[in-house]
Structures are given as C-alpha cells and as structure tokens.
Amino acid sequence: MIDSYHPQGHTIEVGPTEIKGSSTDLKKKTAKKITKGGKNKNEVDMKIWYSWVEICSKKYGISKYLALALAEVESSKGRLRYRFGWISKTYCGPYGIHKCFGKKWDIENPYVNTEVGIRALAQHIKRQGSLRKALRKYNTGDGHSKFIRYCRRIEYLAARNEREKVFDKER
C-alpha cells in the first residue's frame, strides 16, 4: 500500500520543501491511481514520483528523461501521460510491469513499479549495449513496425522531456 511505503526511506527534497514519510504527506499535485475496478484507490503525489524517477535513474545510471519517456509510452492513454495501478488485466503502470513480477515485488505500488521498470531498462542497456536492443528486451510483444514506432516515440519523448526541462517544472 502506498501509505505504508516510502521509497527506501529516502528523504526527498522538492524545491524549498523537504518531504519525509509516505506519499500522502503532500497532496498539492496528484494523479489518480487506477485499480482493477477503475476506482481511485489512492493518489500519487506527482512531485514525489518525479523525484523518485530521478533517484532511481541516478541509482541505475540511466537518463531521467529516458526513464520518464518509457513510463509515458508504457502507460499513457489519450490525454493521460501516466497511469498508475493496473492498466490492463496483465500489466501494471506506470512502467507496464507484467503481473508475473507481482510474485516478487509489489508492482501495484507506483514507487516499486518505477524502480523495477528503471532497473530492468538499465540492466537491458548494460547487457545489450544499445538502447534499441534494450527496448526490444523490455517490450518483446510487438512486431517489427510497431517496435520501431515504440522506439522512436521513446526517443522523441526523452528529447522533449530534456528540452522542456520537465523535472524543473514539477518543483
């Protein structure tokens, strides 16, 4: 449950405010967490989540802009950039983690889901040697033409995120 988990006990600094404890400590800017029934079970504080993406990206040595782009591609729908919780019967967002990983991790928790997704991408990049090969390992279900669009979209969004300095805007 979100309220009982704080990313590895980190203190996350967000602008002039220091946030400690659970994700419900600061509720200024939130995104709905969608559950299997489509109801708003919890809310995710987006400032804390963006900070957690930065922490995990730094921990695993990948670009925070790339990590954010992956979350957007894996979980966006319509006007929603990121979806948290179950985004289908088999995948949990924001990183589209397959339900089989639920045996090992609490993938419904957006902070755990985020760390698992970023860690997996970082490991694939290290093992495969290139972003495209790593993305093929991360998302193996699409045919060639869909996969090329998937890669291009991630590359485009990573560049957009960096150009727009999205992490600075969220503070």
Q: pLDDT tens for residues 98-147?
A: 999 988 999 999 999 999 999 999 999 999 999 999 999 898 777 888 99
The reported pLDDT for the residue numbered 4 is 31
Place of tokens 């998937």: 150
For residue 26, pLDDT over 60 is answered with no
pLDDT of 35 > 90? The answer is no
Domain interval for residue 116: 2-169
How many domains does one find in the chain?
A: 1
Higher pLDDT, 1 or 62: 62
Residue 43: the pLDDT is 66
Q: Which amino acid is at 23?
A: S
Report field, pTM of the whole predicted structure over 0.85: no
Average pLDDT score, the chain: 78
pLDDT, residue 79, reads: 86
The secondary structure of 129-143 as a DSSP string is SSHHHHHHHH--SS-
28: pLDDT strictly greater than 50: no
DSSP 18: E
CATH number of the domain that residue 123 is part of: 1.10.530
Rounded distance between C-alpha atoms, residue 171 and residue 167, angstroms:
7
Residue 85's nearest CA partner among 122, 137, 31 is 31
User: From edge to edge, which strands make up the β-sheet containing 30-34?
Assistant: 40-45, 30-34, 84-86, 91-93, 97-98
Phi-psi region of 97 (alpha: psi -120 to 50; beta: other; left: phi over 0): beta
